[in-house]
Every structure is written in C-alpha cells, then in structure tokens.
Amino acid sequence: MSGIITRFPPSPTGYLHLGGARTAIFNWLYARRMKGRFVLRFEDTDIERSSKEYVDAILESLEWLGIDWDEGPYFQTQRFPVYRDYIQKLLDSGNAYYCTCPPERLDAMRQKAMATGGKPKYDGTCRNLGRPAGPGAAVRFKAPLTGTTVLDDAVKGGIVFQNEELDDFIICRSDGTPTYNFAVVVDDITMGINTIIRGDDHVMNTPKQIQLYKALGSPLPVFGHVPMVLGKDRTRLSKRHGATSVTAYREMGFLPEAMLNYLVRLGWSHGDQEFFTRQELVEVFNLDNIGRAAGVFDPEKLSALNADHIKATPPAMLINRLRPFMAARGVELAENSTNEKMIVSLAPRSKTLVEMADQALFYYQDEIAYDPDAARKFLTAEALPALNALTVRLEALQDYTEPALENAFKAVMAETGLKLGKIAQPVRVALSGRTASPGIFEITAIIGKEKTLRRLHRAIVHIEGK
C-alpha cells in the first residue's frame, strides 16, 4: 500500500499523556515505514480548557521523542469556514437538517427513554419538518434508520453496528461550533488522511464517522483501534499509577529513545525482541503485529530498558543529555575528556540520567561530603597506614594511568600486608564520599592526580581528628 497519510490530533487541554504519545508514535512510525506522510493537528475547539501552554508542551514532547511531522500543526479553531462549507453540503444533499428542540425537551426525552429501559437518543422530532436556519437552531445529521454500519478494523477485525441503535446526532451546535465527530471527519477528508490509528475508546464514535464519510461521498480510511494503556492494576492509566505525561519522564531522566522503544512495545511486538533503536522500529513496524490485549505500563520495565539505552548510547551524545541535570546540581560540564570518561564509568550503573547526575557529582565537586555510615565504618585509624602509603606512592607517580595506579595499589598491598578490599574501600570513601562507585582504579584516574591527593590528605586529617 502506498501513499499512506496518518495523523495525530491531540487536544491541548493538558500535557501529552503516555497513551497519546503511543498513538502518535504508532501513526508516525507507520507513515515513516511506508514512506508516507504524517500530519499534526490540534483539536482545540474546547476554548475554555485549551491553552497555548499545552500546545507548546505537546510540541516540545513530540520533538523530544523525535517525532517530526510533514504537515501542520493545524488548528481546528482556524478551520471554521471549512466546517461551515461541509455542513452546507450535508444540508443541501438532504443528509442534515436544522433542529430547534429546546434543551428542556431533549432532557425530558432522555429521561423518559432511560426510565423505560431505552437508549437516550434523539426521537427525530425535527427530522422531516424542513426547519429553516435561525437563532437557537442546531444542525443534526440524518442518520440511516435501518440496516447496519460495518467497521472493518485493522486491529480488532470486523465490527457490526445496528443503525437503529444510533440516532440523528448533532454536527453543529446552536452557537455555530462543530461537534467532534463532524469536525474530525472533515479534517481527515480535507487533509487526505487514509489511515487512522487511535485508541479503542474511539470505537463507538466510528459508526457515526463512517456514516458521515458515506454521506459526503468520500472513501473510508483504514481504521485501526489499539487497546488502551493500563496501570498495573489493569485500570486505565492515571495519576494514581504515578507520572502519566511524557514531560514528567523526561524530567526524571529517561532517554527519548527508551521511551519511544517502551511505548511501541506496549501493544506491538516483533518476535521476542525488546530493545529497538529508532531506525529498527522504522524498518519493521506494521499494523499486523499490533495486539488486541491492553498494554500494562510497568515503570520498572521502563527503567530497565532505559538503562539498556543509556549503555548503548555513545558517551559523546550522553554528555549533552546530561548537562541540564548536572546544571541543576550546580555543575557546568566544561568541554574536556573527563566527561566522556565519567559517563563510561557510570553508564553501566545508571537507570536514569538523574541517577547518573547524582553519582557523577563526586567527580566534579571541590569538597565532597562523606556519608556518615561510610565514614564511620571505613575512615578509621586502621585505614591510616594504607592511606598514607598510597599518598606517598601517588605523589611520586609520573604515569597517572589505570595500569600504573593498579601497580601503586599492589605495592601498598605488599607493604601493608592488606588485601585490596581493605585498601580500596577507605580510598573509595575518601574519593567519592560513599561505599559504592565504579572501579577504584577507574575513578582514581578520572578524578586526576591533584584532586585525588587532596582528597586523600583530607581523609587522613579527618581520621586523625577523630
């Protein structure tokens, strides 16, 4: 199939939700896989709740994820003349009519239907009265009363809707604003959208939209309704499950490649493969492998996958990703070779960039703070001989490299009769302030001779002052 055109139509009434992000990713990947086009538009007709702040936040989130668009962003509030033209087409063809039923009558109609076990749908009072346009008049679609509307869904398969269960729904409110089901169809027709991948909470809207396509004489797009993203308790993902916006996960130090990878795998598979690069996803993504079961969002699995992506990312690329997290901790990363060495040492130990930034501080601080328990356990009088001996060895060292440092430690082991662990742990606390760090030779080399000696001297003074 060629000439694929997909779209993502967020409502700017909040930040980009993980479920919405997955929908955007699916549409974007399919367009890129098929060498088609991806359209971005904002469904911003909810004037009271929509804001530029949310528009900007959604754009920023998409850009962070690496999702680019070929057209747009379009805004529904700028397309009212287009909607009016299509409303008139339906009125002229007899597929729509003006309705002047007051709200009180509509409410009474719904209550009566519900009281008798029926569906609260419009009873067609104005359907054949030929009402003219006028104040307080809405426009309703003249839906077929019999037969069926069939959805041939690319994910769910065939779904049949009985037309008698539907009603003459409003396509234009009395204030002149179009309703969702009408506006989205007009947008998709005029923008040439021929493939619609969206959450299965839209399934019940689809028969109305199919009827509008047919009434307007437009070919139907391919519909694919994907299962929702659920929390671990298998309820719809919400704030009670933790952070739900893309922005929040960016601020928590997750990589965009990992988030893209994880969200795609929530409902889509390619054999048993879990780790994907962006390019791999573009090459293999398809609609056939979207599952019918809901995806369960697991923060622990996301963290594990993020750790894998951190390890797979070139250190030079991670430096720029890490900069804002270090800046928030008062460290500006200068352009030097220490940064890449630091990242190489910490990448295997970091699940997020926040973790990496926290662990990296000791490399850059002039004065490190000792963890009280670590200092109490390892910065003791028993450690003084090893620290003094190592200080002497390092002061005399000309070749300050890991192999040379390892030899210096071995010499201290021979001199003191201590095993490496008995020497390395006090040195680790002296250099990093804590008991866990990358390899002792590695961090000693990265910190550098001058700073290492200064920290060893400080640890010796600390012990002697006890």
Q: Which residues are catalytic?
A: 239
Q: Are strands 229-230 and 295-296 parallel, antiparallel or unpaired?
A: parallel
Residues 6+ apart with CB under 8 A from 252: 243, 352, 354
Of the candidates 160, 158, 121, which has an alpha carbon nearest to the alpha carbon of residue 143? 121
* Nearest in space to 393 (alpha carbons), one of 378, 413, 375: 413
One-letter amino acid of 216: L
Type of residue at 226? V
**Helices and strands (H and E) in the chain: how many:** 19, 12
Give the end-to-end CA distance of the chain in Å, rounded to a whole number.
Answer: 77
User: Which residues does 439 contact at the CB level (< 8 Å), separation at least 6?
Assistant: 345
Q: Give the list of residues 6+ apart from residue 423 with CB closer than 8 angstroms, or none.
A: 386, 390, 409, 412, 413, 416
Residue 39 pairs in a beta bridge with 7, 71
Q: Supply the DSSP symbol for 417.
A: -
Is 423 within 8 Å of 389 (Cβ atoms)? no
Query: For the chain, how are helix, strand and coil distributed in percent, rounded to 5?
Result: 50, 10, 35
CB 163 within 8 A of CB 145: yes
- SS3 state of residue 170: strand
Nearest to 27 by CA among 9, 2, 1: 9
Measure the CA–CA gap between 54 and 301, rounded to whole angstroms: 28
Strands (E), 185-315: 195-199, 222-226, 229-230, 295-296
3-state secondary structure of 423: helix
